[in-house]
Amino acid sequence: LGGVPKPYELPAFSLLFTGTRVEGSAIGGCDLTQEMLEFCHANKVAPDLEIISAKEAEAALHKLHEGAGGAKRFVIKMDTLKEM
């Protein structure tokens, strides 16, 4: 669903009963995402990330909410879930 100049109505009950979903995306779809990934690969662009344990996830989330997490991504090491 792309941007529209004014809101429009959808038949909610028929969508609910048929399991139909209406979605939108501001990232440009699969083709543009693929192009961006290829650009990043060719130009060695990578995210700034920090690998954390599952126990550190809540603290990392608080950092992000406070704006103290910077522009990095926190990646939870899945084998640390058993420590919870």
Residues 54 and 80: their CA atoms lie apart, in Å, by: 6
Length of the chain counted residue by residue? 84
4-13, 60-69, 70-79: least confident range:
4-13
| pTM (two decimals) | 0.51
DSSP string, 13-65: HHHHHHT------SS-HHHHHHHHHHHHHHTT----EEEE-GGGHHHHHHHHH
Residues 14-56 have pLDDT tens digits of 888 888 887 777 777 888 889 999 999 999 999 899 999 999 9
Better-scored residue on pLDDT, 69 or 17: 17
42 or 71: whose pLDDT is higher? 42
Collapse the DSSP code of 76 into the 3-class scheme (helix H, G, I; strand E, B; otherwise coil) and give the result. Answer: strand
Helix, strand or coil, per DSSP, at residue 12? helix
